[in-house]
């Protein structure tokens, strides 16, 4: 039975269109019909007030994650790292304050009691060219950051895959990647994630449960590697014997509030843990309508409609 973690804020951080189907659970049907008036008026909200997140809605229409959020004990150091390397890819922050910085679909924030540090994540950002991959890696090395793999071809992934890898201040693997895809994400946006999980089969079940509402499908389906594919992005659920990924926030875009409600209802009906029911989060911006659940590894997963 899914349980509500009372008092837990869903996220610090500010799509998939609804798919046809015939869910029959009373909980699901109630969600699809909409909440009773005022039933979500007192949902827990994030601790930081963001004056403007309009770029999230714009980026969502390009077939990318709505946003990814990770946490650092030293947000200033993390800010310095990501500004250094993402600027080379043409990405500049769309929002910044002392505790949170956002680049379109990529957000970093300070840790607190409810939001521990993120570790063990791999993120790949789209680079416009192989030369930009080289420049990304060199900018990081010149600034004193640790390398995690020099720029070069990685034909293991695909014949034209060209990437360079660095480590951020928390030890997360950060890549710039260029491939000749027909419809890549915008330059400097998140191309892919690798998330190390306890049980790929359990993670697969969760993400296939929410797939119709998050715009996901299976790409790779192996016992130790499950790849979930969106319109122009992917994330992989990996078991390679290395330390597990911890404390990531994943948000997927929706084009209507009904999809958000259905996502939440279907996840809870399948036994997953509630982390914040469907409702408007005006603290982000008027019309921000999201819902949150926890995946099997405790990552905070959201589907959000910006109503813009």
Q: Which of 216, 205, 192 is nearest to 295 (CA)?
A: 205
Q: 26-305: which CATH architecture?
A: Roll (3.10)
pLDDT number for residue 37: 30
pTM to 2 decimal places: 0.82
Distance, in Å, from the CA atom of 295 to the CA atom of 30, rounded to the nearest integer, reads 23
Encoded tokens for 27: 């909980």
Domain locations in the chain? 26-305
Give residue-wise pLDDT tens across range 219-277: 999 999 999 998 888 999 999 999 999 999 999 999 999 999 999 999 999 999 999 99
pLDDT category, 14, cuts 50, 70, 90?
low
Which residues pair with residue 217 across a beta bridge?
229
Supply the Cα-derived Rg of the chain in whole angstroms.
19
Distance, in Å, from the CA atom of 251 to the CA atom of 56, rounded to the nearest integer, reads 11
């Amino acid at each position: 039975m899914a349980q509500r973690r009372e008092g837990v804020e869903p996220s610090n951080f500010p799509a998939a269109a609804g798919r046809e189907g015939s869910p029959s659970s009373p909980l699901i049907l109630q969600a699809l019909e909409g909440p009773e008036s005022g039933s979500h008026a007192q949902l827990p909200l994030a601790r930081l007030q963001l004056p403007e997140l309009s770029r999230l809605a714009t980026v969502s229409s390009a077939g990318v994650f709505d946003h990814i959020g990770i946490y650092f004990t030293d947000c200033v150091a993390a800010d310095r790292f990501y500004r250094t390397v993402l600027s080379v890819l043409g990405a500049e922050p769309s929002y910044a304050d002392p505790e949170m910085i956002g680049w379109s679909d990529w957000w970093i924030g300070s840790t607190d009691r409810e939001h521990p540090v993120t570790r063990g994540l791999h993120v790949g950002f789209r680079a416009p060219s192989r030369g930009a991959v080289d420049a990304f890696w060199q900018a990081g090395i010149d600034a004193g950051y640790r390398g995690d793999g020099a720029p070069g071809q990685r034909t293991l992934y695909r014949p034209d895959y060209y990437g360079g890898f660095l480590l951020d201040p928390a030890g997360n693997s950060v890549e710039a990647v260029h491939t000749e895809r027909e419809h890549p994400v915008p330059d400097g946006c998140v191309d892919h994630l690798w998330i190390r999980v306890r049980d790929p089969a359990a993670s697969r079940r969760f993400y296939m449960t929410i797939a119709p509402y998050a715009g996901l499908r299976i790409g790779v389906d192996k016992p130790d590697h499950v790849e979930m594919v969106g319109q122009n992005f992917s994330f992989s659920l990996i078991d390679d014997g290395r330390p597990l990924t911890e404390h990531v926030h994943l948000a997927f875009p929706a084009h209507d509030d009904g999809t958000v409600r259905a996502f939440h209802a279907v996840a809870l009906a399948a036994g997953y843990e509630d982390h914040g029911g469907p409702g408007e989060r005006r603290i982000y911006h008027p019309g921000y309508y999201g819902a949150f659940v926890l995946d099997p590894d405790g990552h905070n997963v959201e589907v959000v409609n910006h109503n813009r």
